[in-house]
């Protein structure tokens, strides 16, 4: 699933190329998107005023004052391509503009992505988002960790705690901070918490600079892949040596997700009353 750096890259691309454009036609909207919001066809005549990001959501501000909420989910992509290109099987939303020769396409192989108008009484994950992960501080993180004994990896993936952080960058942040992903939140030391807050911001900034990470379907709006995969220290590197100590990177399940870490650099020390995790 695209995380904060990938979504931020898409938002910046949309502001550079689609901002100020007025929708002329909508040649195609898939039935599953219409079932979610039957008013999508009323986008004809709307002008994109601005694009913003909240967590992993894209928010398109429209000339009517309405806002369109977009969530890429597992495989969604927003592409700004030549109008002459043929529609592909998984192009579920297509719009043309009054000027120019491009069209905007929402391509989604798994059909989990969301396009819908944002309402004040919106329910679901959007209204429950926590602080932006790019703005997390040691004080904020201390408050979040103190109230729970959940594994730290589980909290980092909780969008109601930190918005935008996902599996890739949680693993990378924990590695840089030398924290085991299964360590209980309320057992982290103040120094560990401070380092983790710094490294979360550091990793996300670096990933945004490289336009995110591409393994499968993600790309920017022009189809360009993210370049951050070459800088990853642990994610998707199980079986390879740790660049810090030389030990083998391993993969386990944590918070229901594949989790990568170095068992030497990120040791889980047993606390009083708790058995050692393997």
Cα separation, 168 vs 1, in Å, equals 9
Please identify which of the residues 2, 5, 181, 184 carries the catalytic annotation: 2
Please identify which of the residues 8, 53, 56, 153 carries the catalytic annotation: 56
The reply to whether 56 belongs to the active site is yes
The reply to whether 3 belongs to the active site is yes
The reply to whether 257 belongs to the active site is yes
The reply to whether 5 belongs to the active site is no
Contact 122, 103 (CB under 8 A): no
Please identify which of the residues 178, 238, 257, 263 carries the catalytic annotation: 257
Cα separation, 82 vs 80, in Å, equals 7
Active site residues: 2-3, 56, 257
């Amino acid at each position: 699933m695209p995380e904060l750096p990938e979504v931020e890259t898409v938002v910046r691309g949309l502001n550079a190329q689609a901002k100020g454009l007025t929708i002329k036609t909508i040649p195609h909207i898939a039935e599953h998107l219409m079932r979610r919001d039957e008013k999508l066809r009323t986008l004809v005549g709307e002008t994109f005023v601005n694009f913003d990001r909240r967590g992993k959501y894209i928010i398109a501000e429209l000339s009517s004052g309405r806002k369109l909420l977009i969530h890429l989910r597992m495989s969604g992509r927003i592409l700004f391509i030549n109008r002459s290109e043929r529609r592909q099987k998984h192009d579920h939303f297509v719009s043309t503009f009054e000027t120019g020769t491009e069209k905007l396409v929402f391509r989604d192989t798994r059909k989990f992505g969301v396009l819908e108008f944002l309402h004040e009484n919106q329910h679901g994950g959007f209204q429950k988002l926590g602080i932006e992960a790019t703005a997390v501080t040691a004080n904020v993180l201390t408050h979040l960790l103190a109230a729970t004994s959940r594994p730290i990896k589980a909290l980092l993936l909780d969008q109601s705690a930190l918005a935008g952080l996902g599996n890739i960058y949680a693993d990378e942040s924990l590695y840089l901070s030398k924290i085991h992903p299964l360590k209980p939140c309320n057992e982290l030391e103040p120094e560990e918490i401070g380092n983790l807050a710094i490294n979360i911001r550091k990793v996300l900034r670096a990933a945004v600079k490289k336009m995110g990470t591409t393994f499968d379907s993600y790309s920017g709006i022009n189809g360009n892949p993210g370049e951050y995969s070459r800088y990853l220290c642990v994610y998707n590197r199980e079986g390879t040596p740790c660049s810090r100590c030389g030990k083998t990177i391993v993969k386990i399940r944590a918070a229901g997700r594949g989790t990568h870490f170095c068992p030497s650099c990120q040791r889980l020390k047993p606390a009083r009353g708790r058995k050692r995790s393997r």
